[in-house]
Amino acid sequence: MTGRRARAAAAAVAAGLLAGLLSACSPAAGQAGEPSRTVTVFAAASLKKTFTELAHRFETAHPGTSVKLSFAGSSELAAQLNEGAPADVFASADQANMAKVEASAGVEGKPVVFASNVLTIAVPPANPAHVTSLADLARPGTKVVVCASQVPCGAAARTVERAAGVALHPVSEELSVTDVLGKVSSGEADAGLVYVTDTKAAGGTVRSVSFDASSAARNLYPIAALRSSADKALAAEFVALVAGAEGRKVLGDAGFGAP
């Protein structure tokens, strides 16, 4: 008897827990208690520092609003958005991924290009392979790491290789620019091709060696409010902040070029 009652109680507890868990997981339950307005921004990983700063300024300028930021590779974010992830604004590190979102999830109006970025050579602070130019990277024995051609930084690397007439033989083709930076800052690689803003954000862990052909591949960053946004007015205001003078200033300080 007691065994049966205990079992029934356990089942009830389990059912209650499950129901609680499910309701806690559903977004509607979380938002019911918040009267404030929220803008959810999906932004390319390279925008982490600048967008965190801009989100802070936006919240200060719009009391009662909060900005939720999600950073990842642009293609990762585009895939999430096209699978129905709820967001208000998308800022991509390249135009190809913005085009994917335009074609599937849909954006409001036309995306605005708000910044640009170029490649640079990242070397460990001591520069053990004495790299001073792009041609130095092709020297036998120099361990060079680039992005795989499927990711934007890799496509840019191929473009500058062609523009400079240099053929690189990388020891690794990484899946993201952060992985390239990690291999260089840890000293595993002698050099890597990353964005100017990456070396700036990395502080003293890597040194940047600029090269002329870098201008051959200028990466453009577009931003747009999403068609599925629940608060299109607020989304548009965030886009205006990023593309406006204040955004320009914050992005410029981080090493981003003009659009």
Per-residue tokens: 1? 């008897």
When asked if residue 150 is in the footprint of other proteins (CB under 8 A), the reply is: yes
| Cα–Cα distance measured from residue 220 to residue 114, given in angstroms and rounded to the nearest whole number | 8
Question: Smallest distance, Å, CB 123 to other proteins?
Answer: 14
When asked if residue 6 is in the footprint of other proteins (CB under 8 A), the reply is: no
Nearer to other proteins among residue 101 and residue 145 (C-beta): 145
Q: If binding means CB under 8 A, how many residues of this protein chain bind other proteins?
A: 25
Pattern 70-99, other proteins, x by CB under 8 A: ---x-xx--x--------------------
Pattern 125-144, other proteins, x by CB under 8 A: ------------------x-
When asked if residue 104 is in the footprint of other proteins (CB under 8 A), the reply is: no
Residue type, 18: L
Per-residue tokens: 180? 């390239």
When asked if residue 183 is in the footprint of other proteins (CB under 8 A), the reply is: yes
Contacts by 227-233 with C-beta closer than 8 Å and gap 24+? 227/105, 227/106, 227/107, 227/108, 228/84, 228/86, 228/87, 228/105, 228/106, 229/87, 229/88, 229/89, 229/108, 230/86, 230/88, 231/37, 231/38, 231/39, 231/88, 232/88, 232/108
Question: Smallest distance, Å, CB 201 to other proteins?
Answer: 19
Question: Smallest distance, Å, CB 239 to other proteins?
Answer: 25
When asked if residue 103 is in the footprint of other proteins (CB under 8 A), the reply is: no
Bridge partners of 170? none
For 236-255, letters b (16+ CB in 10 Å) and e give bbbbebbbeebbbebbeebb
Question: Smallest distance, Å, CB 172 to other proteins?
Answer: 3
Question: Smallest distance, Å, CB 149 to other proteins?
Answer: 9
Residues that bind other proteins (CB under 8 A): 7, 11, 14, 73, 75-76, 79, 143, 145, 148, 150-151, 170-175, 179, 182-183, 186-189
